[in-house]
Amino acid sequence: MIKTIDNIATIKAKTTQTIGFWVCLVVLVIFHIVGFWGLMFSGRPMYFQELTPLNLLLTNALLFSLHRNWNMQFILFAVLVTIAGFMAEVIGIHTGLLFGQYNYGQALGTKLWDVPLLIGLNWLMLVYSTGTIVSKLKVNLLVRALTGAALMVLLDFFMEPVAMQFDFWDWQGGVIPMSNYIGWLGLAFLLHLYFQYIAVYRQNPLAPFVYLVQLLFFIGLYLML
């Protein structure tokens, strides 16, 4: 009898998780489709640019709502990656080191030290989602970290021209320097090494879709510009 009750409870838990995943996926896709339409076809792109912080917050909320096992190592990882990503951008903005000479616009919301506060959260989302994807590879830690970093650079390649078009940030002279991609690769590699090394739960059914939806979103905008 007790075993039967346990089995029923397990089935209910799995069903709830499955429903939660599909709800999150549908919301994620719809929100990005609406954003894409708004930026390209609504005739009011400025209005949808102002919704960019909401898009980022919603995507993070959906992604991390499906994470399991919030142990101290994972919480520390989330805090340190968020801070590291933010501080790297602060250094980049004020010195030109790491990425090159660039400045943030207004589309990403409130700033601290000339860098949007949400940028650290964006680094966390990208490291976590790509890190979860590559964690399934049957290769050593260094290869997984390099592959995860390469996925982030691929996304950034399509994101950079879109960012300049919609006031996310702007490069000096309107030219995206190679140092940007080298800096992204280097920083992302270090953060991926950390994520792949520590003892945390690296399974999230939404993570591949967060990366894929974002990649398709920026590829679509890139091709339409």
- Model pTM? 0.90
User: Parallel, antiparallel, or unpaired for β 111-112 and 115-116?
Assistant: antiparallel
Rounded to whole angstroms, how far apart are CA atoms 46 and 107?
9
Q: How many CA atoms lie within 13 A of 63 on its CB side?
A: 26
Q: What is the pLDDT of residues 115-173, one digit of tens each?
A: 999 999 999 999 999 999 999 999 999 999 999 999 999 999 999 999 998 889 999 88
What pLDDT score was predicted for residue 101? 93
First vs last C-alpha separation in the chain: 63
pLDDT category of residue 9 using cuts at 50, 70 and 90: very low
Q: Is 196 in contact with 15 (CB distance < 8 Å)?
A: no
Q: What is the pLDDT of residues 42-94, one digit of tens each?
A: 877 788 888 889 999 999 999 999 999 899 999 999 999 999 999 999 999 99
